[in-house]
Structure 1
Amino acid sequence: MKATALIAEDEALLAVALQTELFGLWPDLEMVAIVGDGRSAADEALRLQPDIVFLDIRMPGMTGLECAQTLTEEWPDAGKPFPLVVFVTAYDQYAVQAFERAAFDYVLKPVQTARLEQTCDRLKERLQERLLERSQESDASTSLDVIVTQMRALLAAGASREDSVSPRNAPLRIIQASTGNTITMVPIDDVLYFEAADKYVRVVTAERDYLIRSSLKELLVRLDPERFWQIHRGSVVHCDAIASAHRDESGKLTLTLRTRPDNLIVSRLYAERFRGM
């Protein structure tokens, strides 16, 4: 069976070893790219649209989980079916159970030939089922619906894991934003939304913007989830600041705010939150 695959692995020797094992088990599998970080994996997967993506969990810049989330949010509706995602991980059994629920498959490091052969057999079977689908368009839609549900489960499992490992920090009441030699105290109630900006987070209020040296992930565990809603992997909005949610003909959801002209995009992963009552 002709199929295409991409490997994302930051350790070059492990990437070559995985490619060699795959070639021995599946000679017809075409390797379209081997990349060493999550951002490149997302970019190349979106460009090449392979049938299968092997994602290392821990990579520099963007993890395998974040890469899968990016693909879920940015995969074109009119493109090929969403790729079958296989996580390659050295994580503990708790995490593996989450991966098993949320990915097509997983393999543990160091990769064992017998286990990888099982994965290849499953991949071939699923790809054959896709070929038998009546139309690629309906299959692509179904694949995206399934992966969105799976990714929500994976993100929820990851959040539960973090909460079980370390105690939740006290909820934020004040954002301390530094500008030069001045530190501005921004009440959390004044924040309209947070937006990831490289190594910083942009804090947006009705009057002005601030940059704080933090990650959105670090902020999320200190925000009240009933008031601050994640709407994209890179943005969190204060629910009271939302004026309306508009869905266009392609299904893309956009939020307008009460006190600023900004429009915020809601990704597929979080669109379920916005339903009429």
Structure 2
Amino acid sequence: MALATAPTAVIAEDEPVLARTLTRLLEQVWPELRIIGVAEDGLRATELGLAHAPDVMFLDIKMPGRTGLEVAEAVADDWPDDRAEPLFVFITAYDSFAVPAFERAAIDYLLKPATAERLQQTVERLKARLAGRAASPDAGNRAALMQRMQSIAAPQTEPSERIKVIRAGLGNTVRMIPVADVVCFEATEKYVNVVTPSGEALVRMSMRELMVRIDSPDFIQVHRSVMVNANAILSATRDENGHYSLAVRGLQRPLKVSRAFGHLFRPM
């Protein structure tokens, strides 16, 4: 992704009129940008991103197939370790997605309808990042970057506020789950799924907040949306594409490890 040539971009927008409008505005405010593909759904956006390795991806968040957030995660997971990942800009009509967007290291977040003036600010930010970005961080640094981004806007907590027991509501019952009994935490759109050997429960808390407040050194992040109890990990298996999956005690399904965290499981 060297910038000796014109910068490149992929646009993902399921509304053709809005896709054409964004293309036209980008031609106005960033004429040297080369748009190499426009996708109408999240699956196609992922394909274009991995096939063409653009410098920038403009992603609508609500799309068929995959959301823009899921596209960014899928592209980052399969991105070659020796190349700098695309810069992600999310565009949506829903400002409630701002925090999840920045958790995925977004460069900017635009509300529809995008204007030339607001897009110009985004372009200046992208140009500065592209000009100042050197080689791609190694896998360990990328993992640290993700963790820093996920801590943005996390509430500052005192030691007395740290969580030792998860209180999960199940109808009229509140289930008390000791943190030590948890196999893993999995983030969903609005909740965190708390997985134990005896079952699963949802809590209304972001993964970002949970990472700050959990009172245990045993949990490690293995994916943008997954933390796992290191004491429950039985083995890590690497496939032909270089991706690791974990066999975890008390869990019948494997847990996927993001490429950025794969270095945690390489042989010593």
- Return the alpha-carbon distance in structure 2 between the equivalents of residues 236 and 178 of structure 1: 21
State the number of aligned residues.
233
TM-score (norm 2): 0.63
> What's the offset of the Cα at 1:13?
11
Distance 2:254 2:195 in 1: 13
Report if aligned partners of 2:157, 2:213 keep a CA contact under 8 Å in 1. yes
* Contact preservation (8 Å) 1:193, 1:236: yes
Partner SS for 1:110: helix
**What is the aligned counterpart of 2:127 among 119, 139, 151?**
119
Which structure's residues are more often helix, by fraction?
1
C-alpha deviation, 1:9, in angstroms:
8.4
The percentage of counterpart residues that share the same residue type is 33
How much has 1:256 moved relative to structure 2?
Answer: 0.9
Aligned AA (1:182)? T
SS in 1 for 2:118: coil
Distance 2:120 2:201 in 1: 49
Q: Is the 8 A contact 2:61 2:90 kept in 1?
A: no
Instruction: Show the counterpart of 2:176.
Output: 185
> Secondary structure, in 3 states, of the residue corresponding to 1:259?
coil
Query: Normalising by structure 1, what TM-score?
Result: 0.62
Name the residue aligned to 1:46.
Answer: 46
8 Å CA contact 2:89, 2:108 repeated in 1: yes
The residue matched to 1:221 in structure 2 has which SS?
A: helix
Q: Is the 8 A contact 1:195 1:235 kept in 2?
A: yes
Answer yes or no: is the 8 Å Cα contact 1:4–1:32 preserved in 2.
Answer: no
Q: Secondary structure at the match of 2:213?
A: coil
Q: In the alignment, which residue of structure 2 is the partner of 1:72? A: 76
Structure 1: runs of 5+ lacking an equivalent: 90-98, 127-142
Calculate the aligned-residue CA RMSD, in Å.
4.6
What is the CA–CA distance in structure 1 between the aligned matches of 2:215 and 2:72, rounded to whole Å?
Answer: 26
Distance 1:274 1:178, change over 3 A: same
CA deviation after TM superposition for structure 1 residue 230, in Å: 1.3
Partner SS, residue 256 of structure 1: strand
Q: 1:117 to 1:209 in 2, by over 3 A?
A: closer
Amino acid at match of 1:85: L
Unaligned regions of 5+ residues in structure 2, if any?
92-101, 111-116
Residue aligning to 2:146: 155
The answer to whether structure 1 residue 110 and structure 2 residue 115 are counterparts is no
Q: Aligned runs of 1:252-263 on 2, under 5 Å?
A: 252-263=243-254
**Aligned counterparts of 1:155 and 1:147: Cα–Cα separation in 2:** 12
- For residues 85 and 154 of structure 1, the distance between their equivalents in structure 2, rounded to whole angstroms, comes to 14
| Cα distance in 2 between the residues matched to 1:2 and 1:168 | 46
Distance 1:240 1:44, change over 3 A: same
Three-state SS of the structure 2 residue aligned to 1:243 is strand
Query: Partner of 1:85 in structure 2?
Result: 87
* 1:95 equivalent in structure 2: none
